[in-house]
Amino acid sequence: MKRELVKTLPKIELHCHLDGSIRPETLRKIAEQQEILLPVDDAALKELLIAPKDCQSLNDYLERFDLVLTCLQTEEALKTAAIDIISQAAEENIQYIEVRFAPSLHTEKGLSLPQVISAVLSGLEYGQQAFGVKSNALLCGMRHEELKDIEKIVHLAEEFKTNGIVGFDLAGNEIDFPPYTFEETLTLVDHLNIPLTLHAGECGCGKNVADAIHLGAKRIGHGIALKDTPEYFSLLHEKGTLIEMCPTSNFQTKTVTHLEDYPFQTFLDNGINICINTDNRTVSDTTLTDEFMKLHEWYGITYADMEQLNHNAINGAFISDSEKQILHDQLTNSY
Ligand SMILES: [Zn+2]
């Protein structure tokens, strides 16, 4: 596969975090507006934003978000960040993207949760008008937070259902807060009929993936640990669960350290439904084009494989069947 063509072919992305995906130069503008001091040197700024080569764990990786979050505490900043992501998506011909964020991380300077959500949605809407990229957003609860606070986010997902919030997710520390910690919360998600995707099997065990599915997840973020528990493969077949794989991120967080341990081919060979994502464009220093090129280099995937992975993403997207059909047609006509 040729990078230039991979970049121009239509693609779909379902797993992209707002705070981990702002271009360093955009963050600089946001910081300047708020008189937040950043390193003058671009290389030094990047060092603070991009996961280090010797990143030791998921928690180490998550530290790279500290500086960004300091800057993302105003409506203007959140809107600018959302527009920035959509412009990046447009650059590599992403036709549809689901951007996720945790509203509770943006209230340090007094914004209310609905203000945070509205600001991001207005940026996505602006991006759609300006760059022609269709998008929706997912709200994340952070696993370390109080259950009552996470429940508030669930209710907001319900409240903003018709305005561009299409699902709910739990992100953050999976080791200390496995899926059944949130049984009550996720039962509420189910009762409210909010589409659910969960980070699971990113650093914890394969059983977390099965538990997440039992608790209602239609999609799984990462799901890498599933490779060691093939006894759950049939559950994924039965439920048609989609795994949102994020290759670069998984190596950075040391979920896998050797290419031979990366389960992309294992999942394909066992009929597991997967799609490809960036996770965090800036923290992982990647694009969706980069991710497909890596899979080409590592596994020799072809344009036909890439097309199928994008059709899988469409099938798992939290949008209507008619919207899916339009995207399927765009793909079929372009590959
Ligand atoms: Zn993620």
> Per-residue pLDDT tens for 193-215?
999 999 999 877 899 999 999 99
Beta bridge partners of 165: 137
Which pLDDT belongs to residue 257? 87
201 Rama class: left (phi>0) / alpha (psi -120 to 50) / beta: left
What integer is the mean pLDDT of 64-79?
Answer: 94
Which pLDDT belongs to residue 256? 87
CB-CB contact of 265 with 299 (8 Å): yes
Distance from residue 30's CA to the centre of ligand 1 (Å): 23
**Residues, CB within 5 angstroms of ligand 1 (ion):** 221, 279
| For the ranges 61-75, 125-139, 255-269, the one whose mean pLDDT is highest | 125-139
What integer is the mean pLDDT of 156-170?
Answer: 97
Distance of CA 289 to the CA centre of its chain: 15
Write down the mean pLDDT value for the chain. 95
Distance from residue 222's CA to the centre of ligand 1 (Å): 7
Distance from residue 200's CA to the centre of ligand 1 (Å): 10
Which pLDDT belongs to residue 178? 93
For the domain 3-334, what is the CATH superfamily, name and number? Metal-dependent hydrolases (3.20.20.140)
Distance of CA 108 to the CA centre of its chain: 23
19 annotated among ligand-binding-site residues: yes
What integer is the mean pLDDT of 209-231?
Answer: 97
Distance from residue 246's CA to the centre of ligand 1 (Å): 8
Higher pLDDT, 65 or 299: 299
**Is the pLDDT confidence value at 156 over 80?**
yes
What integer is the mean pLDDT of 136-150?
Answer: 97
Of 40-49, 73-82, 214-223, minimum mean pLDDT range: 40-49
What integer is the mean pLDDT of 323-332?
Answer: 98
279 annotated among ligand-binding-site residues: yes
Domain ranges of the chain: 3-334
Q: What confidence category does residue 291 fall into, taking pLDDT thresholds of 50, 70 and 90?
A: very high
Q: Is the dihedral of CA 18, 20, 22, 27 positive or negative?
A: positive
Which pLDDT belongs to residue 59? 76
**Is the pLDDT confidence value at 240 over 90?**
yes
Distance from residue 308's CA to the centre of ligand 1 (Å): 22
Higher pLDDT, 80 or 40: 80
| Active-site residue (options: 92, 174, 202, 291) | 202
Of 117, 135, 138, 119, the C-alpha closest to 127 is 135
296 annotated among ligand-binding-site residues: no
115: number of CA atoms within 13 Å, CB side? 14
Of 234, 263, 233, the C-alpha closest to 251 is 263
Which pLDDT belongs to residue 199? 97
CB-CB contact of 61 with 252 (8 Å): yes
Which pLDDT belongs to residue 109? 96
Which pLDDT belongs to residue 253? 83
**Is the pLDDT confidence value at 21 over 80?**
yes
Which pLDDT belongs to residue 56? 79
What integer is the mean pLDDT of 228-251?
Answer: 96
172 annotated among ligand-binding-site residues: yes
144 annotated among ligand-binding-site residues: no
**Active site annotation includes 202:** yes
